[in-house]
Structure 1
């Protein structure tokens, strides 16, 4: 008996008020593609070009009464966030902002190795510099 599952695909799912809009944001941000589900209008996959991202994909799931996380303090906790490691935050931040991201007013990095942004649905994500 094996002690772990062997997943064929790894998908990180983000709840949101508009699955198509949030999927379009992440597709623009990452250079991936948004693929609407044939089964549900409330689900859109965001997939990398073949061979990239090691089998990881994102999905956006539309939920009724969605409320954005209120990070760093607030009644609705962050719960999870995405980190994207880039070669230069300075060069990458304008790309994220032109795709629709906004810089969060709270920036906890003292050494500037990461910058916190919010996606259009209010999920925090970080650009991290190696």
Structure 2
């Protein structure tokens, strides 16, 4: 079978998984932030999601090293973009849930860069 014989319906996007030191802690943060329930939980992996929709997973990595954004010495590798209606209100809620706001903000009037409890940078924006 050639790759042309495989239709797009053969594949479906099911989840993105982030490495972290504590899957339960990170799942709690994103579950509260995004309103997603836990659909699977084990000691080293937690999956958030909704029936019929892509999920968000968190995998324990024993030697996890936090990204050092904006310093490139430990790259972020990936980040999420989260759409919001009000930047200030969203930022306040996410900070209350445990996010951290780094000093460097490339364009704070358009989007805010925050760090989740494991140090992964993510953006909140009214443009998404």
1:40-119 equivalent positions in 2, closer than 5 A:
40-48=42-50, 50=51, 55-109=53-107, 112-119=109-116
Q: Distance in 2 between matches of 1:96 and 1:7?
A: 33
Q: Distance in 1 between matches of 2:75 and 2:9?
A: 29
Counterpart for residue 33 of structure 2: 29
Counterpart for residue 10 of structure 1: 14
Cα shift at 1:98:
1.2
SS at match of 2:18: strand
**Rg bigger for which structure?**
2
Using the size of structure 1 for normalisation, the TM-score is: 0.85
Using the size of structure 2 for normalisation, the TM-score is: 0.86
Unaligned runs of 5+ in 2: none
Q: Distance in 1 between matches of 2:56 and 2:78?
A: 13
RMSD: 1.8
Deviating 4+ runs (over 2 angstroms): 2-10, 34-37
Unaligned runs of 5+ in 1: none
Q: Distance in 2 between matches of 1:10 and 1:94?
A: 30
Cα shift at 1:5:
6.3
Higher strand share: 1
Cα shift at 1:3:
5.8
SS at match of 1:83: strand
